[in-house]
Every structure is written in structure tokens, then in C-alpha cells.
Amino acid sequence: MSFDLVYQKIKDYQTIIIFGHKRPDGDCYGSQNGLKDIIKSTFPMKSVFVVGEKVDNLSFIGQMDQIEDDIFPQALAIVVDTATRDRISDSRYKLCKEIIKIDHHIILDNYGDINVVEELIPATCLLITKFLLSNEALKISLNGATALYTGTITDTGNFRYRGVNAETFHLAGVLLNYGVDTEWIDQNLSVQSLRSLRLKSYVYRSFKVTKNGFAYAVINRMIIKYYNVGYDEAASLVNLLANIKECPVWALIIRYPKDIRVRIRSNGPNINKLAEKYDGGGHHKAAGASLKSWSKMRPFVKDADALVKEYKESQDTFIK
């Protein structure tokens, strides 16, 4: 583990810019803002920025900074929760003097000058928490601990997913000791508008199931406009199709302004290879993909159905 090198590099630079991945989730937002808080709490005179895409329903843990290009060349870039360089949301990381990668995805691309990757830890926010504990000089405020705890519970499904272990709860406990208000976080993550509730009804009414048990729903731009919801708000509904007995893999297919994005989840077969085939990637059980056009949806659904078929045939104990 290279935490000592990370700490030394942070000490060496006056300006640090923290990057995340495209279409950021709670773990990405939380690790960006949590790490920023650690650095600012420890080194108040340093200039620390977080850059990337804004997500309204995560704004309660922090905001993205808007900075000019001329700041980057003398800065240290720290990229969190991002497996490959093509997934980094702001391409200006290339302008930075050095790059540190901190991540928990399967290693596909060691793009950093320093790479701190722990594949078995269930959230990058937990890896940032381990960094906090690695040096007694490092500090964090309640805001930073809240950001890291929020990212932890979103990426572990409130500690339900595989990979959660005793260390997970220990690190979460460390964050709670800073006074994190779990009820307040839950209220912010759980609040929903009437528009969102009506969209949920649409998903339940319209989703399809393939012959072998791949469940999916399609949300096109007309539906987004009709229900007056944001794209990220729509994408957050992917787990509406979770826990269907006959369907170990499910997805939401959403038409964004410039592309078609697929959020894929599984409680059975590994889906990261399927995602990678369609210009995406992620974890074994949670991944994302992109379709260049609607004509690619049928092959994607066919491949997902074949994956489910293969999985069921290999599982003598699968509940049918």
C-alpha cells in the first residue's frame, strides 16, 4: 500500500485537484469530497478542488468546483473511484504534473504515477478512510466524515452487498465517531418527488423479462420529459427491478441527450465483462455500459439473456 507516498505528494504540492468518474455515484462524490476535506483540514493553506459532473441528489455532501485551465499544470491530480483513464470525467487531468489513482475496481489501467488500488474493499470511501487512519497527522471534519459515510452506504447497499466484512464496519464506525448523522443522510438519500414516484410506477408497468430471466426497462427522452425528471434521478431507480426471483440480472436503459446509458446489476453472474463489451465497466455485480444507438439494444439484451441462461444452467440450486 502506497499511503506514505500519497501523503508525501500531498505535502509537496500547493494545489491538488481531485477527479472522479463520468456519471458519478455516491462513492465517487463521497470519496472526492471526503478526501478534499481531509487535505483542507490537515493543510488549511493548500488549494484543493474537486472537479467533475454535478449530481443534484448528492449535492448535500459537497459541490463541484469550476476552475480555469491555467491552474492544472502545476497541480497534483488525484483520481478516485475510476478504473480506467477513459472514464475520468474531466480530461484536464492530463495537464497535471503528477497523477495519483485511488480506486477499488478491478485493475485494468494503472494510469497513475502512483496507484493505490484495493479490489476487495467494497467502496473507495473506505479506502480513503484507511488513508485517514494511516497517518496521525491527517485530520477530518464532520462534513468530510459525512461524505465518506454516505459514499460507503451507497456503494455497499447499506452494508448488504458482497465484500462487506468486519473491516467495513470498523471503518464505518470510525466515521460515525466524528458525529455523522445517519438519519439526516438517509433522509437526503431517500427523499423523492411525486414525479419520481410516478416514474417508478411507469418502470413497474413497462419493464420486460427475456426468456431466460433478464429484466430491463427502457426510459427514453419522451418519458423523461413527460415525467419531468432528471436523467440521474431516473438512473437511480435501477434497483426497482432487484430481487425478482426469476431474474438474477436486471438493467435500466436510459436515453441521455448524447448517448444511451445502461445501468446493470446482478445478484448472480458477474456482469463486468458484459459491460466492458458495450463500452463500459464496473464491478462484478454493479456495472454500467453505453450503447451508440438503439440498434445496439437488441444485441445487448440478447447477450444479457445468454449470460443469465449460462448462469442458471451452472447453478443446480438456482430458485426457479
What is the residue-level pLDDT of the chain in tens, covering all 320 positions?
A: 579 999 999 999 999 999 999 889 999 999 999 999 999 999 999 999 999 998 888 999 999 999 999 999 999 999 999 999 999 999 999 999 999 999 999 888 999 999 999 999 999 999 999 999 999 999 999 999 999 999 999 999 899 887 899 999 999 999 999 999 999 999 999 887 899 899 999 999 999 999 999 999 999 999 999 999 988 889 889 999 999 999 999 999 999 998 999 999 999 999 999 999 999 888 888 889 999 999 999 999 999 999 999 999 998 655 55
Q: Dig out the grid coordinates for 305 from the structure.
A: 439473456
Rounded-to-integer distance, Cα 294 and Cα 288, Å: 16
Sheet holding 98-103, edge to edge: 47-51, 15-19, 76-80, 98-103, 114-117
Strands 286-291 and 260-266: antiparallel
b vs e for 57-78, b when ≥16 Cβ sit within 10 Å of the residue's Cβ? bbebbbebeebeeebbeebbbb
Rounded-to-integer distance, Cα 304 and Cα 255, Å: 19
Domains, the chain: 3-189 (3.90.1640.10), 194-314 (3.10.310.30)
**Beta-carbon contacts of residue 177 (< 8 Å; ≥ 6 apart):** none
Q: What is the pTM of this model?
A: 0.83
**Beta-carbon contacts of residue 182 (< 8 Å; ≥ 6 apart):** 149, 176
- Residue 304's φ and ψ, nearest 5 degrees, are -65, -40
Residue 250's closest CA among 225, 226, 278, 274? Answer: 274
